[in-house]
């Protein structure tokens, strides 16, 4: 089948975690014989900031790293009706311009035979509900929400009738253990500063413990204001700025542990939704310690796959324990990898997507999947 993805950007992962997951999903669909294509707008703030920050080299590096992925930039004159008419499945990400979200929906209503999906991977449904409520989703066949609480929010608000939970996951062809890489540091955190949703948490669960333990620590990410950079420097933490997602496994491999610091909207209003970095870190085989977070959907085995702490003092104690107890570190690595391999790779998510489409897709899509199943 032909899958068309409307994304904010496929080529840029600058402050854009959905690109991580979409790349893995598209690659797995292609391995199964499906055709995949991504469309991204000319005015992509992620791509624009990446080029402004790093130049054009990361764009070229993306194409070298992912020669199997295809993305096309569209402008004001792009013929979206022709694009969607040639697809079997169209997936529209929630950062897509609202007018275009509506336009694609109208193409479906006017007789389009494709299955039309809206994909939400953000907390705006609770932190900026008006943005989602203002979208025209009445002509969409399905909604994929990256957590059960988000799915329930859509149903309660009447934003869709067929809404399914579709968590993110790790592309384990890229995110894998690298035991051959020498460890040169104690702690790494790969995460962006954001809009202040976790600034206090970063200080409590990362900066203060690393400072007090005098760790060899590194932070990679973007949008750090001057006061945050000064705080990192004062704590002796190296700041490395943006890192290409495909380079993150090497960075994890060079360090002895990492942490998970969820954004406040996920803790307070959308429990059960981890960031994609949890999946990716565990897939790389690095011990992980999590700040308070409710695994409401039992995606993991807290205490086995990763350690959980309640405050900064417990974080400091857990960091010390991981660094001084090699058996504990090995147990965390093995358990985390086991859970990812069993449940949380992009292969698993494509399996889930195809099951949803086989049961709830348009007539043509259900027939195509049934034919493929019979042939297999």
The predicted structure's pLDDT at residue 195:
82
Give the pair of three-digit tokens for residue 146.
């990256």
Domain ranges, ordered by start, for the chain? 2-169+345-375, 185-343
Q: Which 3 state secondary structure label does DSSP give 39?
A: strand
The predicted structure's pLDDT at residue 202:
97
Give the pair of three-digit tokens for residue 302.
């807290």
Query: Given its phi and psi angles, is residue 78 left (phi above 0), alpha (psi -120 to 50 degrees) or beta?
Result: beta
The predicted structure's pLDDT at residue 376:
64
- So what's the architecture of 2-169+345-375 in CATH? 3-Layer(aba) Sandwich (3.40)
**Highest CATH level, class, for 185-343:** alpha beta
Q: How many CB atoms lie within 10 A of CB 132?
A: 21
**Is 185-343 the same fold as 2-169+345-375?**
yes
Single out the residue of 274, 312, 277 nearest to residue 293, CA to CA: 274
What is the rounded distance in angstroms from the CA atom of residue 271 to the CA atom of residue 146? 11
Residues 254-269: tens digit of each pLDDT: 999 999 999 998 898 8
The predicted structure's pLDDT at residue 129:
84
Q: How many CB atoms lie within 10 A of CB 160?
A: 20
Using 50 as the pLDDT threshold, list the residues of the chain that sit under it.
none
The predicted structure's pLDDT at residue 14:
97
The predicted structure's pLDDT at residue 373:
76
């Amino acid at each position: 089948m032909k899958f068309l993805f409307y994304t904010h950007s496929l080529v840029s992962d600058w402050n854009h975690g959905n690109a991580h997951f979409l790349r893995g999903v598209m690659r797995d669909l292609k391995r199964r014989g499906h055709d995949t294509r991504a469309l991204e707008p000319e005015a992509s703030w992620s791509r624009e900031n990446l080029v402004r920050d790093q130049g054009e080299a990361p764009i070229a590096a993306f194409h070298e790293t992912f020669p199997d992925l295809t993305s096309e930039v569209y402008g004001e004159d792009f013929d979206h009706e022709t694009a969607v008419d040639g697809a079997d499945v169209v997936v529209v990400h929630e950062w897509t311009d609202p007018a275009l979200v509506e336009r694609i929906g109208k193409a479906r209503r006017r007789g389009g035979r494709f299955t039309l999906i809206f994909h939400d991977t953000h907390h705006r449904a609770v932190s900026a509900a008006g943005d989602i409520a203002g979208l025209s989703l009445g002509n969409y066949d399905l909604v994929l929400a990256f957590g059960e609480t988000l799915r329930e929010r859509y149903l309660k608000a009447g934003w869709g009738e067929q809404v399914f939970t579709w968590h993110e996951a790790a592309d384990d062809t890229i995110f894998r253990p690298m035991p051959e890489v020498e460890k040169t540091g104690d702690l790494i955190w790969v995460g962006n500063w954001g809009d202040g949703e976790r600034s206090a948490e970063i200080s409590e669960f990362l900066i203060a413990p690393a400072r007090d333990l005098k760790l060899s620590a590194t932070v990679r990410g973007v949008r750090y204001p001057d006061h945050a950079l000064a705080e990192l420097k004062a704590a002796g933490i190296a700041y490395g700025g943006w890192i290409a997602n495909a380079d993150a496994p090497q960075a994890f491999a060079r360090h002895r542990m990492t942490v998970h610091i969820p954004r406040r909207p996920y803790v307070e209003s959308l429990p059960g939704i981890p960031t994609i970095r949890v999946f990716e870190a565990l897939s790389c085989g690095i011990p992980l310690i999590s700040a308070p977070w409710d695994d409401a959907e039992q995606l993991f085995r807290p205490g086995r796959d990763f350690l959980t702490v309640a405050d900064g003092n417990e974080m400091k104690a857990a960091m010390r324990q991981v660094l001084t107890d090699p058996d504990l570190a090995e147990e965390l690595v093995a358990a985390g990898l086991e859970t990812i391999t069993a449940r949380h790779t992009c292969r698993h998510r494509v399996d889930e997507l195809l099951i949803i489409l086989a049961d709830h897709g348009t007539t043509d899509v259900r027939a195509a999947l049934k034919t493929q199943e019979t042939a297999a």
